Chains A and B, each alone.
Chain A
Amino acid sequence: MQKLIKNLSYIWNKFKNDRESFWDELEEQMVTSDISINTASRILEEVKNHVYRENINNLEKVKSSLKQQIIEILKCNGDSKLNISSRPPTVFLIIGVNGVGKTTSIAKLANMFKKNGKKVLLSAADTYRSAATEQLQYYAEILGMDMVCHQKFSDPGAVVYDSVEKAKARGTDLVIIDTAGRMHTSYNLMEELKKIKKVICRRIGREVDEILLVVDSTTGQNARNQAELFNNSLNLTGIILTKTDSTSKGGIVITIKNDLNIPIKLITNGEKLEDICYFDPVRFTELIFS
């Protein structure tokens, strides 16, 4: 992840002479990190108010005001931790567009819970993509976990049904479901996800514990559309932000949280199984300013 604001001290000179161009420059830098124009101007409005009200004349204080605004947006009202049911198995449904890193994130997530002594079962409900099941199988084997899969092109709903039943029979703590990547604009594929969700709810007699949308941090403004449409169909409980070891700044999650109030729960930042952690608004913000 790269710095959100690169040369704050360089543009600071402008603050004294030409304030408008200082704010413009700041806005420009925010937009280049994929924060939407609307969110960027909303944040800057707040910062400006603060700066003028308090008569701030010092770069560090402008910076901390900016940070504070971003943290305020990213902060969760409730708990940002993952929801674990008191009546196992807990079920996580992982969804997203093609190529964002769903399967890899699932392996990392599974590894994280396994280390905490949980018994995890992986559910290969991506029956569409070539070798998707084999990819998940590979992780199930190295992590030593159960996996439920059916034949290629079989009904993903049936895979999910069997997964939950098997988990119940074996006293598994957590089921993580891998689904096929799909465009949020595809009506049929979104209906398929709704059906999968219905199957889970019926089997566990409650809402799905976590429905997590995987978002690639290199994605631009379209990530907001993805979050909005997936949320409309399924009521997301959170977001996993992937590939943060890239140079992109992942600013779009600030817009997603600001516009749709969907919490970011996890971030992944490397190719190793350990490269996953809970999302911390303060640390994330510090990181993009460091």
Chain B
Amino acid sequence: MFDLLTAKFEDLFYKIRNKGKLSPNDLDSALREIKLALLEADVNFKVVKEFIENVKAKATGEKILESLTPYQHVVKIVNEEIIRMLGSSSSGVSFASRGPTIIMTVGLHGSGKTSSVIKLANFLKTKFQKKVSVIAADVYRPAAVLQLEDMAKNIDVDVYSENNSDPVAISVRGVELFKKSGSDVIIIDTAGRLHIDENMMDEIANIRNKTTPHQIYLVLDAMTGQEAVNIASSFNLRVECDGIILTKLDSDTRGGAALSVYYVVKKPVKFVSNGEKIDDFDIFYPDRIASRILGKGDILTLIEKAEKVVSEKEAKGIEEKIYRNELNFEDFVAQIRSLKKMGSIDKIFSMMPIVNKSKIFKKVNLDDSHLSHIEAIINSMTVDERRKPHIINGSRKKRIAKGSGNSVSEVNKLLEQFSKTKQMLKQFSGLKGKFKLPPGNF
């Protein structure tokens, strides 16, 4: 997500980076490029217009044309405007002060409501230790109830459903039942509907009136085009949404819908869903996303992810070993496994603060299977070899290559890579105290 927008901004900033002074013409052409980049990213036309006007007004007001570092000024202004566009801070998760929290999800057909309901249920269950139950209020799409039931079973969450009944009645009875059974969170999964279908919009308004949800989330496909704003406005007008769940962020969408909706409807994106796996779901942090759009990476999320899979103690142990130059293949493979647990390599890379990432991306094929190859090679070593890599001689290499289904030259490549990494890390650890190695790094 956002990759192309990021690439455009990087290019643009690169161009003006070394300019001592920025002429009004430079500024205009930079703004024109930003405008095109935003439009190509599906940001709503009106939003783009306003955005450009704001940046221009600020840039002129702050007299950046005369400043000595116009680059930093422009980046700062664009950064601020993007954060403003996305809403400035995360609104987080909120629960009812008394009794169960009732959540209703609404949205167009195929926006990903059912998957989001299950992912949200799982998120609240595992992160907040809540007892979550779901209500199947989509009686229209064939097998929709079955889908919800099947997915709920996998995460061990109760489902309320009825045959041949009306969604309002189902929701009311479901809420009553789960209130009695002591659920902390009750999520209502409604059918997909067009925002211009009056009868169907009445239906969700009725469900809302009868069940009074604490939170109503609009589920929005991140690939939606210019209409996103109208869709969000219509749903918001009828049921007053509290926030957006943005789905399908694992596509290569440039995510303009996300940028526009908050700006126009003033409802924040609360959660994002970005993969087929049940835990590909997270709280949305506008400032972190802005930083990613501008090519500055998302170190906070990266560190959080790393902390999830590597304990501080483990990280400390590795750091010590690096310092004493004792790093071996056992540590290496442990690091690879932690890295894999953090998600796919390209997702991790997209969070790193590297300039011109998009260009590097094109050259390096970031493939998870590459890691598996390395792992296979290491697995084919004896314990002794893993602990003391220097004993690996020609015949050992042959055996390792054969055992892991690789060629000797690949084994050589890994050994070389390993000793280089070791050297590099040794240098880093020389800065110990001044430079803290983030956990999970190798």
Contacts and interface: CB of A to CB of B under 8 A. Distances in A.
Contacts of A130: 146-148, 150-151
Interface string A158-189: 00000000000000000000000001111000
A184 B223 CA distance: 12
A227 to B, nearest CB: 12
Interface string B139-164: 01111101110110000000000000
Interface residues on A, range: 35 or more
A43 interface: no
B26 interface: no
Interface stretch (A9-17, A215-223, A231-239, A259-267): A215-223
**For B41, B221, B226, which residue has the most chain A Cβ atoms within 10 angstroms?**
B226
Nearest to B194: A246
Contacts of A247: 194-196, 227, 230-231
B291 interface: no
B248 A183 contact: yes
B45 A31 contact: yes
A245 B143 contact: no
Contact of A185 (B141, B251, B256): B251
Interface in B200-232: 221, 223-228, 230-231
A240 to B, nearest CB: 14
Given A131-B146, A246-B108, A218 B224 contact: yes
Interface stretch (A76-84, A96-104, A196-204): A96-104
B42 A220 contact: yes
A247 B251 CA distance: 23
A99 B195 contact: no
B204 to A, nearest CB: 17
Given A98-B248, A99-B112, A221 B40 contact: yes
| Dominant secondary structure of chain A at its interface with chain B | loop
B227 A99 contact: no
Contacts of A21: none
A252 B257 CA distance: 15
Contacts of B36: 37
B146 A219 contact: no
Contact of B224 (A28, A33, A131, A220): A220
A139 interface: yes
B312 interface: no
A225 B222 CA distance: 14
Given A98-B110, A220-B225, A222-B253, A245 B194 contact: yes
A131 B39 CA distance: 37
A20 to B, nearest CB: 15
B245 to A, nearest CB: 13
A225 B254 CA distance: 11
Contacts of A219: 221, 223-225
B216 to A, nearest CB: 20
Interface residues of B, number: 41
A225 B228 CA distance: 18
A15 B253 CA distance: 36
A221 B45 contact: no
B40 A37 contact: yes
B238 interface: no
Contacts of A246: 108, 194, 196, 227
Contacts of A249: 227
Interface in A95-115: 97-101
Contact of A34 (B109, B225, B231): B225
B110 A220 contact: no
Contact of B226 (A135, A137, A183, A220): A220
A185 B250 contact: yes
Contacts of A218: 108, 221, 224-225, 227, 231
B412 to A, nearest CB: 27
Contacts of B253: 220, 222
A36 interface: yes
B252 A225 contact: yes
A131 B40 CA distance: 36
B429 interface: no
A170 to B, nearest CB: 24
Contacts of B122: none
Contacts of A134: 142-143, 146
**For A34, A37, A218, which residue has the most chain B Cβ atoms within 10 angstroms?**
A218
A10 B212 CA distance: 44
Given A31-B39, A138-B143, 12 more contacts: A31-B45, A129-B147, A131-B144, A135-B144, A185-B252, A220-B223, A222-B254, A245-B194, A246-B196, A247-B196, A247-B230, A247-B231
The 6 closest A-B pairs by CB, nearest first: A220-B225, A99-B110, A220-B42, A138-B142, A131-B147, A130-B150
24 contacts: A32-B226, A34-B225, A37-B39, A98-B110, A99-B111, A100-B110, A129-B147, A131-B144, A134-B142, A134-B146, A135-B142, A185-B252, A186-B250, A218-B231, A219-B224, A219-B225, A220-B228, A220-B253, A221-B256, A222-B42, A222-B223, A222-B254, A223-B225, A247-B231
Interface of B: 36, 39-42, 45, 108-112, 140-144, 146-148, 150-151, 194-196, 221, 223-228, 230-231, 248, 250-254, 256-257
